Amino acid sequence: MATPTASPQVASTVGLKNVVIAPLMEDSETTHTYGTLQLMVDTEETLTYGELQLVAGAIEASITPENADPDVQHADDVEFSVLYPDPELSFKTKMADIPLTIQEMIFGNAIDDNGVLVRTASDRPPYFAVGFKSEKSDGTYRFVWLYKVRAKPMTETYKTKEGQTITRQNGSVEWTAIKRTHDGRYQAVADEGQNGFDATKAATFLESVYEPAFTEEESGA
């Protein structure tokens, strides 16, 4: 019997930190404000990301496929045709708080001259890339980028104090993550210390939105 190939290093994720967002922008010299920022073009020639913004206070993040099941058609008593839907993910983040300046950015709202966040019926959440890292039980990190996400309206919860009991009300945002139009990519994941992803690459991975590097371009991209 052949000897199995050795297993890659296994370690559970035990942390979450350094959540960053970068607006997905049209490649032009037009000055955008966060209140009106929207993705206009998504092509290889025009796609750019804006300046990264750190979002402090990360508590929890989850990524769930929403349409992973293929559409299977049967004919002549066999599996005749299989259609695979475009990937769509539900990305949920729980934060200690979501400051109004961050809400302005991700929900497409606007802060007025008096420092008040104003929501309008015509507000449209823009697209972002979102990155973060999660510490693993062996001390290394897993790094994640989602290339094109958009936030859903946020549920706000406030609760009275009950004597000496105080219940923290945290901020939660649910995002929909989809593929980029021009290349079909929607997520990048790296484990520090594996597959040539060393500490040097890890140190800068969240400093800009990661773009893949292949010796030969994948035909399925």
Q: Where are the domains of the chain?
A: 17-204
What value does the mean pLDDT of the chain take? Answer: 85
Q: Are 153 and 107 in contact (CB under 8 A)?
A: yes
Identity of the residue numbered 2? A
Enumerate the β-bridge partners of residue 148: none
End-to-end Cα, the chain, rounded Å: 37
pLDDT digits (tens, 9 = 90+) for 114-149: 999 999 999 999 999 999 999 999 999 999 999 999
DSSP assignment letter at 13:
B
More confident call, 220 vs 211: 211
At residue 32, the pLDDT reads 40
At residue 29, the pLDDT reads 36
Question: What's the rounded Cα separation, in Å, for the pair 157 and 34?
Answer: 25
Question: Does the reported pTM lie above 0.85?
Answer: no
More confident call, 20 vs 47: 20
